[in-house]
A and B are shown apart, each in its own frame.
Chain A
Amino acid sequence: MSELDLAGRVELLERMWLIRAFEEKVSELFARGQVVGLIHLGIGSEGSAVGVCSALRSDDYVFGNHRSHAHAIAKGADVDRLMAEIAGKASGYCKGKGGSMHIAAPEVGFVTATGVVGGNVALALGAALTSVTTQDNRVSVAFFGDGAGQSGSLHESLNLAALWKLPVVFVCENNGYAEFSPLSAHTVVERLTDYASVYSIPTVTVDGGDVMEVRRAAVSAVARARAGEGPMFIEVLTHRLRGHYEGDPAAYRELSEREEWTVRDPVARFRAELEGAGVAADTIAATEAAARSRIASAAESAVAAPGPDPEEATTDVYAV
């Protein structure tokens, strides 16, 4: 899990393109009415999802939030089943019962996501508790936003994870906006790592536009957790290039701010970096083309797939 060779870095770029293409396709399907509901896109935060998940084993656990398509794909979720789930189809991961905000792909370690801000953090502690109890040496990751930073549950979780030295990595994607308000309207704390420091949890703040910087922080946090040294808190400075949800015109944001972040787009940056490192332009272009083709196929299948049988509305309420 040390530095990646060039081929490994190209794989990261492929994964980032897959996410970007997926999110743009979801946006397109939403605009066409082929995806409905409350859809939160993470375009612009691919560096965080891919950087962190590239540091994990396939059997490590990830717990997502309402904006977690990227996290699921980064952890290895099948894009066909994911797209079908978001489109409300029976062939989706959750048979259409979860939708965009409640993805569960446990077979690849993406255990679940939550529509309640901050609700997934304690769940990740639980998976970490299982690992400690059964000594299976797995690590759990909770992805949450700056908006969860002011929830009581997060602070309880930080305290308990530190107290029990749980193998959990807290990944706070600080995109500067909690729903429709800037972070400064919710807290006077400027660096969210301060929240974790209070509970004696080591922290690092990284640039989410730089996937390799995110990855280095995650490798270090995961190694520490796996070694039994307890949790770590990574603040990833990131950005969502879309509104809070699809349909939100994001009128509360300055255009200049958006332009600045478009320049810091993690996909474009990593692409340029790899070109500079000697990867052929054709190879780079092929990563994008392959991702877009793969996602186009997933979207086509999802749109064409049948919806769930109405009788499924009342099944799976209880496990039998």
Chain B
Amino acid sequence: MTAELRFIDAIHAGLQASLAADDAVVVIGEDVTYGGPFGATKGLADEFGRHRVRDTPISEATVMGMVTGAALTGLRPVVEVMFVDFITLAMDQLVNHAAKLHFMSGGQLRVPLTVRVQGGVRGRFGAHHSQSLESWFTHTPGLKVVAPAFPGDAKPLLAAAIANDNPVVYLEHRGLYWDKGPLHDDPVDGAVVRRPGTDVTVVSYSKMVHSALAAADRLADSGVEAEVIDLRWLAPLDTATVLESVAKTGRAVVAHEAVARGGLGAELAATIQREVFTELVAPVERVGAAFAPVAAAAALEDAFLPGVDEIERAAGSLMAFGPPPP
């Protein structure tokens, strides 16, 4: 029986393993010696020393630039940005410097930087502590983006991010931190099919994968077999796994917690219709948040956030097209 760990502890274990394996790895961020608000870095300063686990002032712009400069000169920093909403302050350094320096230097420079950042809706935190901003990162050439959905993937994906010679944004959904699951050492390249199905493909990532799986359970009760794909990596995007599935099912729903407009779902919908147009029996459906900031009040947050109902409805609506399930 494999030991089960909470998601947040899997991240901790990943940091611990990387710090132990490579002296170039350093962990930097606000309150990381204390453990941060959720405990991901707890105890690491005592174990590895305060020269490798460092607290910073609340200076996101300079901290992102500093870790980029450290990555350019031989370190392999893991920086924690406490909430993805605060990464706005660090976007110049992340987008203009970390992401572009390999290219702008004609390949002379490398930026092996991991940006750990948590976000998403959970806890009625309001519009400055609840966003899903992954499309900003996936729209930026030079950045890699990963968004684990399960504790078992959290550790190997973090190790892969840290070992990568590019800047990688590692997106954590706060709502997953307390989920438990078994750890594994399987490969974590690309997307993975979480549930096989024949009638409709639901493509998702991060916390929304769990809503997709719950929706698939409900759909199965009404005789519709949904195939659920967990992308894991948002950049580079494993379109092959997605297209293979959609070519089989002929129907696709792309679901994410981020605002639907201009989101990753739009990119995937465009790719699907272009690449497997003749296999489609229905238009590609998108499920995403409303085009609005996240409100704090419970009723408003709930109204903003898509979930199991919306995915079930979207997938169900596609069944009206094409031949019915046998």
Report A's interface with B, CB cutoff 8 A.
Answer: 61, 63, 92-98, 102, 104, 106, 111-112, 114-116, 119, 121-134, 140, 152-153, 156-157, 159-160, 163-164, 315-320
* A111 partner, pick from B56, B63, B72, beta carbons under 8 A: B72
Pick the contact of A122: B66, B75, B109, B112 (CB < 8 A).
B66
The distance in angstroms between the C-alpha atoms of A184 and B90, with both chains bound, is 28
Which residues of chain B come closer than 8 Å to A96, judged between CB atoms? 106
Expressed in whole angstroms, the minimum distance between the Cβ of A99 and any Cβ of chain B is 8
Rounded to whole angstroms, the CA-CA distance of A22 and B200 in the bound complex is: 64
State whether the Cβ of B135 lies closer than 8 Å to any Cβ in chain A: no
The reply to whether A97 and B69 contact each other, CB–CB distance below 8 Å, is: no
Inter-subunit contact A123/B51 (CB<8 Å): no
- Contact check, B104 vs A127: say whether CB atoms are below 8 A apart: no
Q: Contacts A153-B61, A156-B62, A160-B57: A126 and B103 contacting too (C-beta < 8 A)? A: no
A81 and B26 alpha carbons, distance in the complex (Å): 34
Compute how far the CA of A133 lies from the CA of B69 in the bound complex, rounded to whole angstroms.
13
Residues of A within 8 A of B111 (CB): 319
Q: Tell me the bound Cα distance from A157 to B69 in angstroms.
A: 12
Partner of A317, one of B52, B61, B141: B141
Q: How far is the CA of A317 from the CA of B93 in the complex (A)?
A: 17
A115, A129, A156, A320: which contacts B70 (Cβ < 8 A)?
A129
| Nearest chain B CB to A123 CB, angstrom units | 4
Shortest CB-to-CB span from A154 to chain B, Å, is: 9
Structural contact, A98 and B71, CB atoms closer than 8 A: no
Asked whether any CB of chain A lies closer than 8 Å to the CB of B180, the reply is no
Contact B108 A122 (CB under 8 A): no
Report Cα–Cα, A92/B101, bound state, in Å: 15
The answer to whether B109 touches A104 (Cβ under 8 A) is: yes
* A317–B97 CA distance with the chains assembled, in angstroms: 13
Residues of B within 8 A of A129 (CB): 26, 66, 69-70, 75
Per the bound structure, the CA–CA distance linking A308 and B62 in Å amounts to 34
Q: With a CB–CB cut-off of 8 A, which chain A residues contact B88? A: none
Instruction: For A157, list chain B residues within 8 Å (CB).
Output: 62, 65-66
5 example contacts (A-B, Cβ-Cβ < 8 A) are as follows: A104-B109, A119-B96, A125-B65, A126-B68, A156-B61
- Given A129-B70, A160-B56, A318-B142, do A98 and B105 touch, yes or no (CB 8 Å)? yes
B302 within 8 A of A: no
| Distance of B52 from chain A, by nearest CB (Å) | 7
In angstroms, how far is the closest chain B Cβ from the Cβ of A165?
12
Q: Are B74 and A130 in contact (CB under 8 A)?
A: yes
Q: Given A127-B70, A127-B73, A319-B110, list of 9 further CB < 8 A pairs?
A: A94-B105, A97-B103, A104-B101, A106-B109, A133-B70, A134-B75, A153-B93, A156-B63, A315-B107
Docked complex Cα distance between A164 and B101 (Å): 26
Select A112's contact among B56, B67, B93, B105, beta carbons within 8 Å. B105
The smallest beta-carbon distance between B30 and chain A, in angstroms, is: 12
Query: How many Å lie between the Cα of A268 and that of B169 in the bound state?
Result: 51
Confirm or deny: B210 has a beta carbon within 8 angstroms of a beta carbon on chain A: no
Are A114 and B68 within 8 A (Cβ)? no
Please, which residues of chain A bring their CB within 8 A of the CB of B248?
A: none
* B65 with A153: CB separation less than 8 A: yes
**B217 interface residue, CB < 8 Å from A?**
no
Number of interface residues of B (CB under 8 A): 43
B106 touching A98, Cβ below 8 Å: yes
Residue of B nearest to A312 (CB): B106
Q: How far is the CA of A129 from the CA of B70 in the complex (A)?
A: 6
Contact pick for B104, options A102, A122, A125, A132, CB 8 Å: A102
Instruction: Decide: A127 near B72, CB < 8 A? Known: A97-B105, A97-B106, A104-B101.
Output: yes
Contact of A123 with B72 in the complex, beta carbons under 8 Å: yes
Q: Let me know if B173 is at the binding interface, CB within 8 A.
A: no
B92 CB contacts on chain A under 8 angstroms = 116, 119, 153
B166 interfacial contact with A, CB 8 Å: yes
Assess A126 versus B105: contact at CB under 8 Å? Given A317-B141, A318-B142. no
CB distance from B13 to the nearest CB of A (A): 23
**What A residues does B106 contact at CB under 8 A?**
92-98, 104, 316
Report, nearest first, the 3 A-B pairs whose CB atoms are least far apart.
A126-B69, A122-B65, A95-B106
Contact between B72 and A112, CB atoms less than 8 A apart? yes
Among B232-254, those with CB < 8 Å from A are none
Smallest beta-carbon distance B124→chain A, Å: 30
- Quote the shortest CB–CB distance from A75 to chain B (angstroms): 15
> Cβ of B74 and Cβ of A134 under 8 Å apart?
yes
Query: B128 → chain A, closest Cβ, in Å?
Result: 18
Q: How far, in whole Å, are A132 and B67 apart by their CA atoms in the complex?
A: 13
Alpha-carbon distance between A158 and B41 when the two chains are bound, in angstroms: 26
Closest chain B residue, CB of each to CB of A128? B69
A308's closest neighbor in chain B, by CB? B106
- Chain B residues near A111 (CB-CB < 8 A): 69, 72-73, 109
**C-beta contact mask, B120-142 vs A, less than 8 Å → 1, else 0?**
00000000000000000000011
